[in-house]
Amino acid sequence: MKAIVQDTYGNADVLRFADVDRPPPGPGRLLVRVHAAGVDPGVWHLMTGLPLLVRPALGMRRPRLRVRGRDVAGTVEAVGAGVTRFEPGDEIFGAGDGTFAEYTLVREDRAARKPANLTFEQAATVPVSACTALQALRDRGKVEKGQRVLVIGAGGGIGTFAVQLAKVFGTHVTGVCSTGKADLVRELGADDVIDYTREEIPAGRYDLVLDIAGNRSLADVRRTLTPTGTLVLVGGEDGGRWLGGMERNLGALLLSPFVKHNLRGMFATEPASDLDVLRELMEAGTVTPVLDRTFPLATAAEAIRYLHAGRARGKVVVVP
């Protein structure tokens, strides 16, 4: 089968469109024929092996997993031993390892039935980004109805889901984005939109802040909170080779016990239970994926460059 592979860390130039063996479905795994695979910021980190702090998990000198990609939507081709929730022919979406390929493996507990009203391309935008937004609001942020919620990075893949989910939870939502994404964020339901190229974020106003953009200092973001507000650090792209944006998460962890603010980092997962929650919201029309562009699988490197440059309005996917 065709897949996007890499044998060394680096920029998108290290990616190759190559032939690899089709993986056999082991116990608890689904072999999925890929119809579409989402591109998320985590793909860039896996490709570059940065920050270096995560190398022990990824592979010290070269990637332990050669095929890139995590989000997927497709059709079950075969199932491994012990699988009970799916059978060949089922249309699913979920998170796997190595989804930039014609076929991929997905754990049964990381998959759900594809929302009936979504295309495969739309469904492939959901798992990683929407689960991150849901868990940031519900689990880490402990969001409550009537709160004032600020989403920094509202026009990106996670942010477009966060704005809509924050409205589902009954909050007053302010989205922070660039000029070119302001209209989109309003259309998604944001009560207020702040164009960061022209306006400052008001101080002391927000009960819950999701910082997805990751390019502001911890002190700068804390300034926007109410005296007992909660900050969830979802993104962290700036920083050195060793810690990257994780230094803000570490700083928040160390500072939080000594201040009235609740300062929290997060690492999201994609459990089937959350995918089912999201599927119900999608099928009800309450939450809608924002698909910016679709790239052929062979040009996945271009898709990653496009996303990393910050140009995407919502999500980007690749299709075999």
**What is the model's pTM?**
0.95
292 in Cβ contact with 316 (< 8 Å) = yes
pLDDT confidence of residue 114? 98
- The answer to whether position 203 is within a domain reads yes
Residues linked to residue 104 through DSSP beta bridges, in sequence order: 32
pLDDT confidence of residue 237? 56
Is 37's pLDDT higher than 60?
A: yes
CATH code where residue 296 lies: 3.90.180.10
pLDDT confidence of residue 46? 85
- The answer to whether position 284 is within a domain reads no
- pLDDT higher at 55 or 260: 260
Q: Which domain holds residue 252?
A: 129-265
Consecutive H or E run containing 134: helix 127-135
Q: Based on the domain organization, do 114 and 134 belong to the same domain?
A: no
- The answer to whether position 186 is within a domain reads yes
- The answer to whether position 175 is within a domain reads yes
Q: Based on the domain organization, do 65 and 105 belong to the same domain?
A: yes
Q: Based on the domain organization, do 23 and 68 belong to the same domain?
A: yes
Locus of tokens 């309003």: 186
CATH code where residue 242 lies: 3.40.50.720
- Residues 101-121 pLDDT 10s: 999 999 999 999 999 999 999
- The answer to whether position 275 is within a domain reads no
The DSSP bridge pattern shows strands 192-195 and 172-177 to be parallel
The DSSP bridge pattern shows strands 16-19 and 2-5 to be antiparallel
Residues whose CB falls within 8 Å of the CB of residue 15, separated by 6 or more in sequence, listed in order: 4, 5, 6, 47, 68, 300, 301, 304
- The answer to whether position 53 is within a domain reads yes
pLDDT confidence of residue 244? 58
Three-state DSSP at 54 gives helix
Q: Based on the domain organization, do 255 and 136 belong to the same domain?
A: yes
pLDDT confidence of residue 245? 61
Is 232's pLDDT higher than 60?
A: yes
Q: Based on the domain organization, do 110 and 135 belong to the same domain?
A: no
Q: Based on the domain organization, do 249 and 210 belong to the same domain?
A: yes
Is 83's pLDDT higher than 70?
A: yes
Q: Based on the domain organization, do 133 and 118 belong to the same domain?
A: no
- Say how many domains are in the chain: 2
| Confidence category of residue 173, pLDDT binned at 50, 70, 90 | very high
| Confidence category of residue 257, pLDDT binned at 50, 70, 90 | confident
Q: Based on the domain organization, do 205 and 159 belong to the same domain?
A: yes
Distance CA 77, CA 79 (A): 7
Is 130's pLDDT higher than 60?
A: yes
Q: Based on the domain organization, do 45 and 119 belong to the same domain?
A: yes
Q: Based on the domain organization, do 143 and 180 belong to the same domain?
A: yes
Distance CA 206, CA 204 (A): 6
Locus of tokens 């990381």: 110
Distance CA 167, CA 162 (A): 9
Is 239's pLDDT higher than 60?
A: no
- The answer to whether position 220 is within a domain reads yes
- pLDDT higher at 257 or 37: 37
Compute how many other C-beta atoms are within 10 angstroms of the C-beta atom of residue 75.
17
Residues whose CB falls within 8 Å of the CB of residue 182, separated by 6 or more in sequence, listed in order: 155, 193, 195
Q: Based on the domain organization, do 58 and 112 belong to the same domain?
A: yes
Is 255's pLDDT higher than 90?
A: no
Q: Based on the domain organization, do 94 and 154 belong to the same domain?
A: no
For the chain, what percent of residues have pLDDT higher than 70? Answer: 96
